Amino acid sequence: MKHIHTFESFLNEAKDMSYWKQYAKGHHSLPKWYNDEVKSASEIAELVDEVIKNDQAEADIPFDIDEKDEKTLVKMATDYFKQFKTINGNVISAMLFQGA
């Protein structure tokens, strides 16, 4: 049961918006524009769309994301933005690949 507890802890941690802050700086392999922060909540959906397109194009294994999952990602990114007043492509890409 300890393994299940650890997995549950991870899921709970990921729902805490502060979990995603560690991804804000990104890493060297991402395009530089992933570091650009959006200035308003109205820009989030467009950034999510651009990150999805770029990540799909660059992925070693092709993947699709359905409309429902994209809306969930936009909501999570918006929640992050509301809390920290900033978000960038690095955070959104991390949310995408971790199945947020």
Domain spans of the chain, in order of start: 2-97
Q: How far is CA 99 from CA 36, 64, 72, 87, 92, in A?
A: 22, 12, 10, 18, 11
Residue of 53 and 3 predicted with greater confidence? 53
Q: Using one digit for the tens of pLDDT, what is the confidence trace for 6-37? A: 444 444 555 678 888 888 887 766 789 999 99
In 3-state terms, what secondary structure has residue 37?
Answer: strand
Supply the pLDDT for residue 37: 94
Confidence (pTM): 0.79
For residue 11, the model assigns a pLDDT of: 47
Give tens-digit pLDDT for 40-79.
999 999 999 999 999 999 988 889 999 999 999 999 999 9
Give residue 53's pLDDT.
Answer: 96
